[in-house]
Amino acid sequence: MTDKPLFLMTDARHFGVTYQINPWMRPDAWKANPAALTAAAAKSASALRKELEKAGARVEIVDAVENLPDLVFPANAAIVLDGRALVARFRHPERQGEEAVFRDAFLKLKARGLLSDVIELPNKILQEGAGDCIWDKDRGFFWAGYGQRSTPNSIPVIESVFGQQVVGLELATDRFYHLDTCFCPLAGGRVLYYPPAFTPQSLGMIRTHVRKKDRIEATAEEAAAFCVNAVNIDNHIVMAKAPASLRAKLKALGYSLAEVDLAPFILSGGGAYCMTLRLDRQSGNQAAMRAAE
């Protein structure tokens, strides 16, 4: 294992917007200019990788596969904690072919000692990886989205596979179809989130667990710019190009912000967090166990 944060990304060579499974997806816009957008996507992905590396991370790359354009969003490939990867099961047939590709990638990472277990979901459960299940480092539990892509029966499974508490958050609209589009825990116990994406009950859960002074509400404009979909490494936050309002809010709280032009990926409804999967997260419990050994 490495001390540096470790992320998985996918080569963007076969990215495209060729179908529509969320309301942000623009196959028409893609079709108008595929060659230029493919080139722009490659540039965007490598700029994102550079920013992660600048923030101290290491990045592993999964090969692109033709006809699996959304493979560039490995956040949806699995939930990973303590070296264990619970492989996703996708709702839409368009993405189901990614499961085997990612499983294979995880088994290779396991062979290299970068993961310890690759675990399968039981039948009849849909769960779209870390896109719908976010580890809250400061609170020591998972926040899990359901109601759009992942099914609520994924929650007890996540709890038992990882031996961790899971707080379920029902997503209210298809515009914010994965939890990571509208919810982002930040170092220091803060949470950046977009309230209209949640049902009243799940907003109540957020308020129960996150003190008012730690709740940073995103505006509609900030959420639509895919800025809640951010990667946080300590004090650094990497995200798509941000409205000035968000830049100011985060700066005032002492975060250092790196913005990347992710326009081609936003045509697919994805931002910085979607394009990455953190592989080296350890739960406090495990760390405590190891410290006690």
Instruction: Catalogue the active-site residues.
Output: 178, 274
Over its C-alpha atoms, the chain yields an Rg (Å, rounded) of 18
Distances (CA, A) of 271 to 28, 109, 113, 241, 247: 19, 24, 29, 10, 16
> Which residue from 9, 12, 25, 238 is in contact with ligand ARG, where contact means CB under 6 A?
25
Quote the CA–CA distance of 293 and 281 in Å, as a whole number. Answer: 19
Question: In the range 166-195, which residues lie near ligand ARG by CB under 6 A?
Answer: 178, 180-181
Q: Which one of the spans 29-37, 68-76, 209-217, 246-254 is the region binding ligand ARG (CB under 6 A)? A: 68-76
Instruction: Determine if 75 is a binding residue for ligand ARG (CB under 6 A).
Output: yes
* 198 closest CA partner among 215, 179, 222, 211: 179
> Which residue from 10, 22, 44, 276 is in contact with ligand ARG, where contact means CB under 6 A?
22
Name the DSSP class of 256: E
Distances (CA, A) of 76 to 130, 203, 258: 6, 23, 23
Q: Which is nearer to ligand ARG, 21 or 253 (CB)?
A: 21
Question: In the range 103-162, which residues lie near ligand ARG by CB under 6 A?
Answer: 131
* 232 closest CA partner among 208, 250, 210: 250
Contact between 70 and 95 under an 8 Å Cβ cutoff? The reply is yes
The single-letter code of the amino acid at 238 is V
Q: Which is nearer to ligand ARG, 73 or 141 (CB)?
A: 73
| String of contacts with ligand ARG for each residue 218-257, x by CB under 6 A | ----------------------------------------
Instruction: Determine if 74 is a binding residue for ligand ARG (CB under 6 A).
Output: no
Residues that bind ligand ARG (CB under 6 A): 21-22, 25, 70, 73, 75-76, 95, 131, 178, 180-181, 268-270, 274
